[in-house]
Structure 1
């Protein structure tokens, strides 16, 4: 499957954008997701092909790190229209993960550190420790929606760089981001996307909460803090008790109901699996 899908595909066949080989497309964030997936595949299998592919993708992404606009950061797309949280959160997680898996590396660590320092300095993390969507043309926080996956990726990037450096300030910042999500993104204790109440989430947004939980549970495991594990279990309990129909379909709103499709199913199943204690 890896060999079959690393080729060239026209727009609409595997993705909305054309895939140009090695899982690369004009959407830099979509390309980064592939690299993250191959790192996870490498961790599971030890097959060096997967890690090498992640390096290939990361080298492509590095071409969109640009200090001439806003002093740094990776562009969201090949057209260089926007610098945002998802692209740069993924960049930090990816570059730090490569450092942690490539013996003797210094280059990816330098890039991860530069990415984190730029992200923190960009102002995208607001005074409430919530991550807004991106920066303006004037290089300030644009005040746009706090999406749960951006909050999760900021946690995940901080944690992977903490593992690379041992810098306790990174773990402390990951905690602040996790605490803010529990207090500000979880009415009634249940994680809620801003588009959940009105039922207006698009196909991407339907999957955001599952991504958040992936990195939030990394925080729980990294700190051993029981309050984080309790929160993760609360999400799973609410999904199972309130968001499951008679056919075991899981909906968009983890507090109950909403759209049901494969995207909401995957997101909610991710939360259920993550809440299961290892072993």
Structure 2
């Protein structure tokens, strides 16, 4: 459906018709103009990539960024391909995404072990899910398939659901020897939540929705999602049993749950999920600067203290606001003006660097602020190409054109093969329910170990489970 001025989108047509920076000029009411500008920003993003060159590692962007941000960047490039139809980077994106899957085909490459977080793996899984939903060109039959990769990431994160502390939730880091293993946070649980919601919608298998409900209930019970304000807080240490909550708010934490709630609402059409979605949307003023409607990162942007990870967070806010509009179109009246105003502000910063079109970080100054990098380009690209949503279709499912092949057992270490995912097949349901059975067994063994041998040995058991599944 195309949203036309004066109907779904309520702000006046003339207000944001022409946006000009010294390097990029774009008419936000003209599809061809938006695509042309997006191509410039996308080219700038890909200037950070040399993984397709001899002697370089495919899939990784230059600049010393953590592994997860490369996975997130490919998500931005998938959006770029989908919204614009430009296939310039299709082959290189496909190569990079497949190279990083690891020997277990679960986005846990062994060379990333020492810094592997559940959220890191989750971002690669979300990109794989995007590929399935966008009907991105499928890999060869002897390679891992997009849907199976998303299922593998979902399963391997769900399998480390930890009831020993805080009555549930997954930890930030994957392995006990990683710094941050003692912390449970909203983003690691949020990627599990969103993947569950998306897999339910794509496959029509409600076991994934059960897990999305489980994560939401835990987040709200532990207080990471405040039940009165719907603010989404960062997380807490297991040493406090998650009672000493770090109440810092990041754009991507709110956005990951907002989009997940939109997926749940789209599938269930339930008033419960509509209410949750609406309540999350009501918190967006935290991330809009003053009365400007411009997205910013209040936790670090005013102090100019955002690190390279945080400089990319607005990209995911823009991406997931767009997804929310596609899945719950009634929200466009409130959300699309935010994206339009922010696109206006973002493109005004893309007049820096030696090329004259490099995008800056803060969108509040009206010009390039001297900060540049992968995150800055991603954020500008995502918010700009969000203006093409009115010309695009909603994410596909396996009933509406999605062709990716799945494997419900992927990522569990159980026998299984990549199979067709016809909606609600007995095989798919049985495979997904295996995850619940395995999780129950792990929880039972952990409880018995705790009762017999004490807390220290329980940690050894947890470490063994994680190391065995990763290296075994």
Please give the range of the TM-score, normalised by the shorter of the 2 chains: 0.7 to 0.9
Q: Deviations over 1:75-134 (max 9, x none)?
A: 11122411111011111101121122224x232222121111111222112343321101
Given that 1:122 and 1:141 are in contact with CA atoms closer than 8 Å, whether structure 2 keeps it comes out as no
Alignment-derived partner of residue 114 in structure 1: 214
Q: Write the distance in 2 (CA, Å) between the matches of 1:24 and 1:56.
A: 20
Decide which of 268, 272, 276 is 2:384's aligned counterpart. Answer: 272
- How many residues end up aligned between the 2 structures? 268
1:69, distance to aligned residue in structure 2 (A): 1.7
Work out which of the two has the higher radius of gyration on C-alpha atoms and give 1 or 2: 2
Alignment-derived partner of residue 146 in structure 1: 249
Give the SS at the match of 1:76: coil
> Which structure ranks higher in relative contact order (CA pairs < 8 Å, sequence separation ≥ 6)?
2
Structure 2 residue 43 is the aligned partner of structure 1 residue 43: no
1:4, distance to aligned residue in structure 2 (A): 3.0
Q: Write the distance in 2 (CA, Å) between the matches of 1:142 and 1:5.
A: 34
Q: Write the distance in 2 (CA, Å) between the matches of 1:140 and 1:207.
A: 29
1:258, distance to aligned residue in structure 2 (A): 5.1
Given that 1:35 and 1:58 are in contact with CA atoms closer than 8 Å, whether structure 2 keeps it comes out as yes
Given that 2:255 and 2:320 are in contact with CA atoms closer than 8 Å, whether structure 1 keeps it comes out as yes
Alignment-derived partner of residue 339 in structure 2: 232
Higher mean alpha-carbon deviation, 46-55 vs 202-211, is at: 46-55
Alignment-derived partner of residue 287 in structure 2: 185
Unaligned stretches of 5+ residues in structure 2: 1-94, 140-144, 392-472
Listed as ranges, the matches of 1:76-95 within 5 Å are 76-77=172-173, 78-79=175-176, 80-95=181-196
Q: Deviations over 1:41-75 (max 9, x none)?
A: 11222648110111122221112112222121111
Listed as ranges, the matches of 1:130-145 within 5 Å are 130-136=231-237, 137-140=240-243, 142-145=245-248
TM-score, structure 1 as length reference: 0.87
Superposition CA RMSD, Å? 2.5
1:272, distance to aligned residue in structure 2 (A): 0.7
Give the SS at the match of 1:174: helix
Higher mean alpha-carbon deviation, 41-50 vs 194-203, is at: 41-50
Unaligned stretches of 5+ residues in structure 1: 9-14
Q: Write the distance in 2 (CA, Å) between the matches of 1:141 and 1:90.
A: 22
Listed as ranges, the matches of 1:4-23 within 5 Å are 4-7=99-102, 19-20=109-110
Structure 2 residue 188 is the aligned partner of structure 1 residue 96: no
Structure 2 residue 358 is the aligned partner of structure 1 residue 249: yes
Given that 1:75 and 1:83 are in contact with CA atoms closer than 8 Å, whether structure 2 keeps it comes out as yes
